[in-house]
């Protein structure tokens, strides 16, 4: 820190926004400008992306694999370093953009999403998790975003999605909404998701202004995904219940994944603690800018959820922008999946009005 001739304290040539406070308490905007300045300096020295990652205090996953009986502490930092990347909502959102809209149903606002609700009754089995997302508003000094509604959905241990996968068209488990508390936090009880061919293990989420606005993606504030640490995945996928997940994950990395590959999931890699026997806590800071265009797809690329937890090859196009293609018919088939489920055997597809019933859902239109 330096004092100018007139007594004004400065840092790197910039006046402090709060001169009465320590350098570390100058606010998010000051920190971001400092970070960008350091990144430009490092780039000029030719230190590359690795050094830039250090300058940004980026998080990384532990390299070692933990045993299922041991405690694990893996993944990202507990505070966010920037805005959560906007991503596609994928082919299986059930938010009205690809067929059924589960967000119009009574009972969708719930903390425990392991079981189906309404007229459905199935329960997803797997290693239990408690997922907490801490939502902050970058437009308000990264303060807690109280009152926003967060919709979470994921695949089950077999890599299948309720309302879309064959045999699960009438079920709606592993989907739910919570409203952020005064700390901006939402917490869900769920299971550790499996890994299907072509995608790194992940959990989807959408953020809406409030509970009353969840029925239409026109109201979205953000769409993104949670990445899970490799060592924890390897521990869980050694269990018989997750048969096939270890093989599927061996064919993809965070860097090659079509969603997380742009930056290796730097801001989306969750912090995970616990063990496979008693379960895990999964935590991710989610800083959003409500003025950023959400990553929801208006023209959902084809392919339904794999009926066997696998299937197909990873798509060649990269993360966040859903490709075009034929509309899924509700059975395995269609074009390349924007969610990375991979190409599968072709099947017939038709177009028409979106199906809104939760029972016997057969996808006939993208929106």
Which stretches of the chain score pLDDT less than 70?
Answer: 1-19, 21-80, 295-367
Q: Cα separation of 341 and 91, whole Å?
A: 9
Q: Cα separation of 83 and 105, whole Å?
A: 30
Q: Cα separation of 198 and 339, whole Å?
A: 9
Q: Residue 269: what pLDDT?
A: 98
CB neighbours (10 Å) of residue 86? 18
Please answer whether residues 115 and 124 qualify as being in contact, where contact means their C-beta atoms are separated by less than 8 angstroms.
yes
Q: Residue 351: what pLDDT?
A: 32
Greatest C-alpha distance within the chain: 76
pTM of the shown model: 0.66
The residues spanned by each domain of the chain are 2-51, 67-288
Ramachandran category for residue 233: left, alpha or beta (phi over 0 → left; psi -120 to 50 → alpha): alpha
Nearest to 104 by CA among 206, 223, 213, 222: 213
Q: How buried is 30 (Cβ within 10 angstroms: 0-12 exposed, 13-18 middle, 19+ buried)?
A: middle
Question: Of 1.10.10.10, 2.60.130.10, 1.10.3720.10, 1.10.760.10, which CATH number belongs to 67-288?
Answer: 2.60.130.10
Helix (H) / strand (E) element for 38: namely helix 28-44
CB neighbours (10 Å) of residue 315? 24
């Amino acid at each position: 820190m330096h004092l100018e001739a007139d007594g004004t304290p400065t840092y790197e040539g910039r006046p402090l926004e709060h001169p009465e406070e320590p350098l570390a308490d100058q606010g998010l905007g000051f920190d971001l400008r400092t970070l960008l300045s350091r990144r430009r300096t490092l780039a000029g020295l030719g230190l590359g992306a690795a050094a830039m990652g250090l300058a940004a205090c980026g998080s990384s996953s532990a390299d070692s694999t933990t045993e299922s009986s041991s405690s694990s502490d893996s993944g990202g930092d507990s505070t966010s370093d920037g805005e959560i990347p906007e991503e596609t909502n994928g082919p299986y959102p059930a938010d009205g953009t690809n067929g059924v809209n589960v967000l119009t149903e009574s009972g969708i606002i719930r903390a425990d999403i392991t079981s189906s609700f309404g007229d459905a009754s199935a329960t997803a089995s797997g290693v239990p998790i408690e997922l907490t997302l801490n939502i902050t508003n970058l437009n308000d000094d990264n303060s807690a975003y109280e009152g926003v509604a967060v919709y979470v959905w994921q695949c089950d241990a077999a890599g299948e999605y309720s309302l879309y996968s064959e045999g699960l068209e009438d079920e709606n488990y592993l989907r739910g909404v919570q409203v952020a508390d005064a700390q901006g936090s939402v917490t869900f009880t769920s299971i550790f998701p499996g890994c299907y061919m072509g995608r790194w293990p992940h959990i989807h989420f959408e953020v809406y202004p409030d509970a009353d606005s969840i029925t239409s993606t026109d109201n979205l504030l953000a769409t993104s995904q949670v990445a899970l640490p490799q060592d924890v995945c390897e521990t869980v996928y050694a269990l018989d219940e997750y048969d096939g997940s270890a093989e599927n994950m061996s064919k993809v990395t965070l860097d090659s994944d079509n969603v997380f590959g742009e930056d290796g999931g730097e801001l989306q890699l969750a912090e995970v603690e616990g063990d496979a026997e008693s379960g895990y806590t999964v935590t991710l800071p989610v800083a959003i800018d409500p003025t950023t265009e959400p990553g929801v797809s208006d023209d959902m690329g084809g392919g339904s959820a794999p009926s066997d937890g696998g299937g197909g090859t990873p798509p060649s196009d990269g993360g966040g922008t859903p490709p075009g293609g034929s509309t899924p018919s509700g059975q395995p088939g269609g074009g390349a999946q924007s969610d990375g489920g991979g190409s599968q055997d072709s099947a017939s597809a038709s177009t028409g009005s979106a199906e809104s019933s939760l029972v016997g859902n057969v996808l006939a239109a993208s929106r």
